[in-house]
Amino acid sequence: MTAHTAKDSAPKAGAMRTKLPKPLKGPKQASKRMGLAGRVAMIAVAAAFFAALAQWVVTPILGQGEIRQQRQTAVIAGANLLADISRIHAEAGHWSEINKLVDALSVGMPDGQSAVFDANWQLLAKDGAVERVPPQTKLAELAADMSAVMVEGERYYAARRIESGGTLYGYAVYSFQPRAFIDIWLWVVALNAIVLSLVLLAIAPLIYRLARHALKPVTELERRIRMRDPKDKSKLADSSDDRLLKPLLTSIDEVHERSEAAMRRALTMAYTDPVTRLPNRLRFVSRLDGAVATGEDVYLLICDLDRFREINVTHGPRLADIALAGVAERLRATASQAKLTGAFIGRIGADQFGLILPGASQVAVSEFIAAASHAIAQGFTAEGQYVRLSASFGAAISPRDAATGGDLLKQAEIALKEAKRQTASSFAFFDQRLLDRARAQTRLEEEMREGLERGEFVAVYQPKVKLETGELVGAEALARWRRPDGMVVSPGAFIPIAEELGLIAKLGKQVMRDACFAAAGWNRRGIVLSVAVNVSPHQFDDPDFVNSVYQALDDSGLSPSQLELEITESAAVADADRVARIMWPLRNRGVRLAIDDFGTGHSNFAAITRLPFDVFKIDQQFVRALSTDPHAPAIVEMILAMAEALGQETVAEGVETKEQADFLLRRACTIGQGYYYSPPLPADEFDAFVRSYRPRKADRFAA
Ligand code: C2E
Ligand code: MG
Ligand code: MG
């Protein structure tokens, strides 16, 4: 139990370290933000302030005409006053003392400036402040019109005649320069702004309180939505009778319901495999993690369909999907019949299902595997086609084999690989030996990749001899891996791995080029031999295969007729059409084709005779068995007879003794290859071998 809690809390602590969850907004944080009422109050204050400001700016612009009018009236009134007083002064006979009058007036009208002229426009008196008097002609014009005002620069002028009883005494000129309007106005605005700000500041709390009161239903609602428990399914609309809020709440409820439904649909889609309706890998893995984390015994079983790719190709993806759904159903039914309580099934790969079996015993799992294998092997009939199926199983148990879901998956996969590898049974339980082997395999795979980059894969050459004359007619190129530690690895160990890892295309190309260049080199040195290269069916997956053969021939300068490609019988019959499609163009160029290891495949003679082959290579097991197995001579004879009937050349592999060579010649076999003549040799040794070779003839009439 303690182990369980420790495990439970560990990942949580890790998660805290890497990604801190967003803290929930508590009441303290909420109060720090400005509330709705605060915002409304602020907007009201700002609006009042800006409205007042706008008014102050606009007022002087709009009032400009009126202001000018006022100024004109003022200057006219000043001129009238000066003229009237001057007239009274003149009537009283004090005209000569007009100076004193003007001085006295300037005290009374501090903003204005006065000047008095005689009837001939001679200046009689002026206010001390007057610096410049406008030209006499302009003043005369001004005095002629009672309502005229002259503006010069910033200054306003008005002039009046001083006359009484038909006598013109002179002229009164009055002027004043008003203070710049903007100066006054700025002052007004600044003062107003200060006053307004103070007022607004004073009433802001009141506005705030009013806004708060008005918005109370909304803020209350906001608080409720924020504090709402996610599990609370009650409708928001039911909680308010407010005429304005109710429709709003109803639409919030609707949006909420719709988004929840969409979320549920998306979640289901994200975690379910559409073909089988089983949980997908994502959901399976998270369930597995949970099951393993309990610390209780839990078996993980992987069920992998055999050769599913072929089924896809032969029956098409639609039928393959139907078969997959059928397998899912049978696994489910078998699990429920087997009473495996708590079994959880998911689709974890294209042709893989996973089963989490908590608390199951190894015996129960074995029984389930047997029952499920049986159920799957019944096959499926759909759309008039029968789909034959079989499956392999790999199992591992936690906590014994692995402490995490991810590791448990790896171990079950290792067990599955073992199940696929072995032929006797179709299931395996994980154990440590398998892990060691898997690790060694991984190491080997890495070394192979590096070896391929470093050119460690080379060809050796085994001569082929015409049985009758003993003369050399060709050589077979056989791949070898020369490892940096000096060890030489045989193809039986690395070809299957290269095929599985998809490295065979590259490896095959290297051997092909090696062989073509070696044979072209022999030609140049006067040794005219053909060279045979083994081709794996996996190389046909490489769309560049045919081109790479042409390329090797072109680059080396070897004649196509000197190149022979060997394809094993089993590969040739497995997909005869494809082999024919790929091989015909090569054959039309003159490349020869051989069926390798003949007699070991499930011979399909109809298919083989359709293929463009020139050579049959009898598998070495028949040659070896010639002296030990009483049936072997008959089989060899039959193959040779068939080849002869088809007019094809025959090569016997694994010839080790003179007796074997003699027998083969007697039965009309044409060519022999084997240790009797020579083991496979590195390219440089092959030259020397050829030069020192003494023909080893077979004897047709030997006993
Ligand atoms: P294979 O094409 O049937 O090659 C003949 C095998 O028999 C060779 O084994 C050869 O060394 C061996 N052999 C030859 N004479 C004798 C004999 O007298 N007695 C005995 N016991 N064995 C003899 P090797 O080189 O180990 O190659 C094994 C197989 O690996 C080849 O069988 C071929 O199928 C495959 N292989 C070799 N090189 C390549 C390659 O470059 N590409 C591909 N795809 N497969 C290759
Ligand atoms: Mg071969
Ligand atoms: Mg062979």
Ligand 1 touching residue 675 (CB < 6 A): yes
Ligand 1 touching residue 531 (CB < 6 A): no
Ligand 1 touching residue 134 (CB < 6 A): no
From the CA of 557, how far away is ligand 2's center (Å)?
23
Percent of the chain with pLDDT over 90: 48
Stretch 520-540: mean pLDDT:
94
Whether omega before 399 lies within 30 degrees of 0, making that bond cis, reads yes
Going by pLDDT thresholds of 50, 70 and 90, the confidence category of residue 33 is: low
Give the model's pLDDT for residue 462: 98
Q: Work out whether strand 457-466 and strand 671-672 pair parallel, antiparallel, or are unpaired.
A: antiparallel
pLDDT digits (tens, 9 = 90+) for 307-341: 898 888 888 889 999 999 999 999 999 999 988 88
Residue 642 pLDDT more than 50?
A: yes
Going by pLDDT thresholds of 50, 70 and 90, the confidence category of residue 235 is: confident
Stretch 12-19: mean pLDDT:
38
Q: Which atom of ligand 1 lies at the shortest distance from residue 460's CA?
A: 25
Going by pLDDT thresholds of 50, 70 and 90, the confidence category of residue 541 is: confident
Give the model's pLDDT for residue 565: 97
From the CA of 619, how far away is ligand 3's center (Å)?
5
From the CA of 534, how far away is ligand 3's center (Å)?
9
Q: What is the residue with the minimal CA distance to atom 22 of ligand 1?
A: 654
Ligand 1 touching residue 620 (CB < 6 A): yes
From the CA of 654, how far away is ligand 3's center (Å)?
8
Give the model's pLDDT for residue 599: 82
More confident residue, 123 or 280: 280
Give residues with Cβ within 8 angstroms of 398, minimum separation 6: 291, 292, 297, 298, 300, 405, 408
Q: How far are the Cα atoms of 28, 424, 437, 445 from residue 432, in angstroms, in the given order?
A: 58, 20, 9, 20
pTM for this prediction: 0.56
Q: What is the residue with the minimal CA distance to atom 17 of ligand 1?
A: 654
| C-alpha count within 13 angstroms, C-beta hemisphere, residue 202 | 6
More confident residue, 467 or 94: 467
CA 379 to mean position of chain CA atoms? 39
Residue 596 pLDDT more than 60?
A: yes
Give the model's pLDDT for residue 185: 79
pLDDT digits (tens, 9 = 90+) for 149-199: 998 877 889 999 999 888 899 999 988 887 777 777 788 888 888 888 898
From the CA of 511, how far away is ligand 2's center (Å)?
13
Ligand 1 touching residue 654 (CB < 6 A): yes
Residue 16 pLDDT more than 50?
A: no
In degrees rounded to 5, what are phi and psi of residue 471? -80, 150
Residue 372 pLDDT more than 90?
A: yes
Q: Which atom of ligand 1 lies at the shortest distance from residue 479's CA?
A: 38
Ligand 1 touching residue 596 (CB < 6 A): yes
Stretch 259-274: mean pLDDT:
88
Q: Tokens 């080849």 sit at which residue?
A: 643
Give the model's pLDDT for residue 534: 98
CB–CB of 362/320 below 8 Å? Answer: no
Per-residue burial over 266-288, b if 16 or more Cβ lie within 10 Å, else e, is eeeeebbbebbebbbbebbbebb
Residue 8 pLDDT more than 60?
A: no
CB–CB of 93/108 below 8 Å? Answer: no
From the CA of 618, how far away is ligand 2's center (Å)?
10
Instruction: Give first-to-last CA distance, the chain, whole Å.
Output: 82
What CA–CA distance (Å, rounded) separates 125 from 85? 14
Both structure tokens of 208: 């705030």
Q: How far are the Cα atoms of 252, 320, 357, 505, 582 from residue 541, in angstroms, in the given order?
A: 58, 21, 39, 8, 10
Q: Which atom of ligand 1 lies at the shortest distance from residue 619's CA?
A: 3
What CA–CA distance (Å, rounded) separates 291 from 299? 10
What CA–CA distance (Å, rounded) separates 239 from 225? 11
Greatest CA separation for the chain:
183
Give residues with Cβ within 8 angstroms of 267, minimum separation 6: none
Long-range pairs for 550-558: beta carbons < 8 A, 24 or more residues apart:
550/589, 552/509, 552/512, 552/513, 552/515, 552/516, 552/517, 553/516, 555/513, 555/516, 555/517, 556/513, 556/516, 556/517, 556/519, 556/520, 557/520, 558/516, 558/517, 558/519, 558/520, 558/523, 558/531
**534, 538, 678, best to mutate for ligand 1 pocket (most atoms within 8 Å of CB):** 534
Ligand 1 touching residue 536 (CB < 6 A): yes
Rounded to 10 deg, the angle between the 491-501 and 504-524 helix axes is 130
Give the ligand with the smallest distance to the CA of 463.
1
Ligand 1 touching residue 495 (CB < 6 A): yes
Q: Which atom of ligand 1 lies at the shortest distance from residue 597's CA?
A: 3
Give the ligand with the smallest distance to the CA of 654.
1
What CA–CA distance (Å, rounded) separates 12 from 521? 68
Task: Residue count of the chain, please give it.
Answer: 703
Q: What is the DSSP string of 457-484?
A: EEEEEEEEEETTT--EEEEEEEEEEE-T
Stretch 263-276: mean pLDDT:
88
Which of 3-7, 87-91, 339-343 comes out lowest in average pLDDT?
Answer: 3-7
Give the model's pLDDT for residue 42: 86
Residue 1 pLDDT more than 70?
A: no
From the CA of 490, how far away is ligand 3's center (Å)?
14
Residue 602 pLDDT more than 90?
A: no
Residue 213 pLDDT more than 80?
A: yes
Residue 35 pLDDT more than 80?
A: no
Stretch 452-458: mean pLDDT:
94
From the CA of 149, how far away is ligand 2's center (Å)?
125
Stretch 261-272: mean pLDDT:
87
Going by pLDDT thresholds of 50, 70 and 90, the confidence category of residue 621 is: very high
Query: Which residues are in the CB-under-5-Å shell of ion ligand 3?
Result: 596-597, 653
Both structure tokens of 418: 């073992």
Give residues with Cβ within 8 angstroms of 643, minimum separation 6: 616, 649, 650
Give the model's pLDDT for residue 22: 46
Stretch 224-237: mean pLDDT:
79
Give the model's pLDDT for residue 503: 92
Residue 518 pLDDT more than 90?
A: yes
Q: Tokens 């192979």 sit at which residue?
A: 448
Ligand 1 touching residue 539 (CB < 6 A): no
Ligand 1 touching residue 651 (CB < 6 A): no
What CA–CA distance (Å, rounded) separates 633 from 640? 10
CB–CB of 82/115 below 8 Å? Answer: no
pLDDT digits (tens, 9 = 90+) for 106-159: 777 767 888 899 888 888 888 867 767 788 888 888 888 888 999 887 788 999
Residue 443 pLDDT more than 50?
A: yes
Q: What is the residue with the minimal CA distance to atom 20 of ligand 1?
A: 654
pLDDT digits (tens, 9 = 90+) for 666-684: 999 999 999 999 999 999 8
Average pLDDT, the chain: 87
Going by pLDDT thresholds of 50, 70 and 90, the confidence category of residue 346 is: very high
